[in-house]
Amino acid sequence: MLYHFLYKLSNWFTALNIFGYITVRAVISFMICFLLCLIVFPFFIKRLLKWKANQIIREDGPKSHTSKIGTPTMGGFLVIISILTTMLICGNFNNLYILIILFATIAFAIIGFIDDYLKISRKTSNGLHAKFKLISQIIVSALITTAIYIIHYKLGVDIAYITVPFLKEFKIDLTILNNFLFFGYTLNIGSLLYILLGIFIIVSFSNAVNITDGLDGLASGLLIAVVTTVGILCYLLGHEKFAKYLYLDFLPLSGELLVYCFAFIGGLCGFLWFNSYPAQIFMGDTGSIAFGGIIGTLALMIKQELLLAIIGGVFVAEALSVVIQVFYYKLTKKRIFLMAPLHHHFELKGWKESKVIARFWIIGGILAVIALGSLKLR
């Protein structure tokens, strides 16, 4: 609305020219989304309590979590609605990146919503079948990655090159595998590998955020640091002079993603107001699955696939703790961690929940700074 209607009127009212600036619309999007969440969440929480849409607490989890029984879930649903509403007001829908990120937002939110709905209706922790959930995530990720690949190709961006953090000249070149002859047929294996890598990143990060969402405010606080960092990168890479100065690919469409990222941050801040310890509402799979998928999609758009592992290092560590625990237990019938994911391990070691959250937030912030610092150290 601000861009497609008011900005178009700037020929007659020059003051409306400000809505053409990405930074102005980004700030406005943050405020709109934050205020929407701040105003609507109290009514949303009351409605969820009336519907008894409560989070199912793990029976084998820390005993201190029994006090969380009865806390409503699906807070991520309202954040998603707030983001979409804000983008209708502030977004530029001529930008293909915006269309893709909105598709990712809606598609992953639907998967998470179905999972939450089944858990609530069945009153168990068994939601969407794990295989069906994974297949759904893979299909959505494949569509997103293919679309990004095609856009990058048309923009003339080095498609199957992977940028390595801290290294300026060196890139992982997957194109050397293109034009591979197989019984007389030419196969572009490098391109296929890039698409498979993109699917892996999006699906993995979607599940990593879902795994991390186990303590009051933990995932939402970490996401604010991650999205802020990614938003800065989107703006820098969408600005030709900044991108050239940092020896990064200039991506003319990525600057507009700053508006989306600021709306996302505003929604997360509004949610954290009610999700901070002790939480009045939980994110639910509607939020965690969608938010992780969004982060993975943004990283692919700006071609910072490996840097995402640093920016979202806490999410990566949480996911790896589960993988390591399961793998090690199958081999030895013993456990490395007292409980997985990692935040539960520290709880069982005697750390208070608030201390675990605060320290994980600090680590997340440090990793965000390191990720931004790597751009200049290249």
Question: Which one is predicted more confidently, 14 or 271?
Answer: 271
Whether residue 182 is predicted with pLDDT greater than 60 in this model: the reply is no
For residue 95, the SS3 value is coil
**Which range has the worst mean pLDDT, 129-138, 181-190, 206-215?**
181-190
CB 305 within 8 A of CB 299: yes
Question: DSSP of 280-327, one letter per residue?
Answer: SS--HHHHHHHHHHHHHHHHHHTT-TTHHHHHTHHHHHHHHHHHHHHH
pLDDT tens, residue by residue, 279-320: 999 999 999 999 999 999 999 999 999 999 999 999 999 999
Radius of gyration of the chain (CA): 21
pLDDT tens digits, residue range 64-122? 677 788 899 999 999 999 999 999 999 999 999 999 999 999 999 999 999 999 998 88
Inform me whether the pLDDT recorded for 189 exceeds 90. Answer: no
Mean pLDDT of all residues in 173-184: 65
pLDDT for 169:
76
Q: What pLDDT was estimated at residue 305?
A: 94
Predicted confidence at residue 10, as pLDDT, reads 74
Flag the least confident range among 118-122, 183-187, 274-278: 183-187
Domain ranges of the chain: 2-377
pLDDT band at 53 (very low <50, low <70, confident <90, very high): confident
Please say whether the beta carbons of 48 and 36 come within 8 A: no
180 has which bridge partners?
187
Question: Percent helix, strand and coil across the chain, each rounded to 5?
Answer: 70, 5, 25
Which conformational region is residue 284 in: left (phi greater than 0), alpha (psi within -120 to 50 degrees), or beta? left
Give me the residues paired with residue 72 across strands.
Answer: 54
Q: Quick one: tokens of 74?
A: 């699906």
pLDDT of 181 strictly over 60 = no
